[in-house]
Amino acid sequence: MPELVNLILVLAVVAAACALPGVFLVLRRMALVSDAIGHVLLLGIVLAYFVVRDADSPWLLVGAALTGLLTVALVEALQRTKLVKADAAIGLVFPALFSLGVVLVSVSHLRSEHLDIDRVLLGQPDLATVPRFPVFGTVVAPVWVMGAVLLMNAALALVLFKELKLSTFDPALAASLGFRPGLIHYGLMAVVSLTAVVAFDAVGPVLVVGFFVVPAAAAFLLTDRLGVMLLLAALIGALGAAVGVFVADRTDANTSGTVAAALGLLFGLVFLFAPGRGQVALLFKRFANRQAFEVTMLAVHLYQHEGTPAEASEAKLDELYTHLDWPQARVATVVERATANGFVTRSGDLLKLTELGRDRARAVFGERSRQ
């Protein structure tokens, strides 16, 4: 398999594996936890190395995963004190544990013999195709390990879909139904930690955070259905990885930065053009609401003076701009729109409400239609 295709495959699998639990992190407003876990793994690796004294031991991954859970526990312990909020708690725990890991690496043999600090901080996904995971005496390529993690995450999301959905959107109801949301929460954090550990070794912390958060945030703007959101997040993550790797290969740019930029570009496109929630759609919606509001205000004005002595002046087309305090051009545009939509008709110089226009005005005052 060509090296470029192999690298795209590896990063696409990593992206999809991270995006699945990332959806639940985004929905639970815990996106920053992925950043914290992705960096404090270094501390777990170093502490496990001090115990086993073997840089190739799988216990280093176990130590990293446990450190991820420790991070979540410390953040929530600080939160429960009510003295700091969630974002501040993450900001306190994450730098402390991460800096401790960096210090321990700098004073240990890992720095010179086994661990490159630059790679830890920035990642080196170009080496993600190199086999380095020891499994039963053989060295396995990261794509197979991440593939197994992807299958595990997909299976858990499928089997525990109801429990995860209920505990995410209504933990009180989940508890009343006996689902134990606390256990589900820490189970999810364990999955996030394990996924982050394997992805950290494959692509580094920058892309780990990007793969957890960006595809899930983009999918959130595209749908309200959780199942569809999970599928879209995995697809967006894989697409961002493929585009980023391809552009990096053609431009000889840094792979981590290019993939992260591609993810940001995809999110930007979704943010602007997502149906219903995109900024362009919201702009059109606000424009349409403004037009409807103007027509409604015209109908209300005519309805208030309908059948009164002041109607001859208040409903006169040439004088409407003084009563509504609108520019004449705006009055002409609104009257044309109201006429085209069947809310008013012209009777000489006067505007008359149709029954449809009266219903629109009555709705504003909470009156029932007289039809």
pLDDT digits (tens, 9 = 90+) for 82-116: 888 878 888 888 889 988 888 887 776 655 555 55
- Is residue 27's pLDDT more than 60? yes
Compute φ and ψ for 352, nearest 5 degrees. -120, 140
Domain assignments of the chain as residue spans, ordered by start: 3-277, 281-365
Give Cα 37 distance to the centre of its chain.
Answer: 17
Q: What is the mean pLDDT of residues 158-181?
A: 91
**Contact (Cβ atoms closer than 8 angstroms) between residue 14 and residue 135:** no
**Contact (Cβ atoms closer than 8 angstroms) between residue 339 and residue 345:** yes
Predicted confidence band of residue 133 (pLDDT cuts 50, 70, 90) = low
CATH 1.10.3470.10 assigned to domain 3-277? The reply is: yes
- The dihedral through the CA atoms of 260, 264, 265, 269 has a sign that is positive
Q: What is the mean pLDDT of residues 36-44?
A: 83
Q: What is the mean pLDDT of residues 280-291?
A: 93
Name the strand (E) or helix (H) holding 267.
Answer: helix 255-273
**Contact (Cβ atoms closer than 8 angstroms) between residue 218 and residue 267:** yes
Amino acid at site 360: R
Helix, coil or strand: residue 85? coil
CA distance 254 to 268: 21
CA distance 244 to 144: 21
Which tokens sit at 108?
A: 């240990």
Matching fold, domains 3-277 and 281-365: no
Q: What is the mean pLDDT of residues 129-144?
A: 69
The region that residue 17 occupies, defined by phi over 0 for left and psi between -120 and 50 for alpha, beta otherwise, is: alpha
pLDDT at residue 239, as a whole number: 96
pLDDT digits (tens, 9 = 90+) for 304-361: 988 888 888 888 888 888 888 889 889 889 999 999 999 999 888 888 999 999 999 9
**Contact (Cβ atoms closer than 8 angstroms) between residue 317 and residue 350:** yes
- Out of 45-54, 64-73, 213-222, 251-260, the most confident range is 213-222
281-365 — its CATH code? 1.10.10.10
pLDDT at residue 368, as a whole number: 65
> 166: buried, middle or exposed (CB in 10 Å: 19+, 13-18, 0-12)?
middle
Helix, coil or strand: residue 347? strand
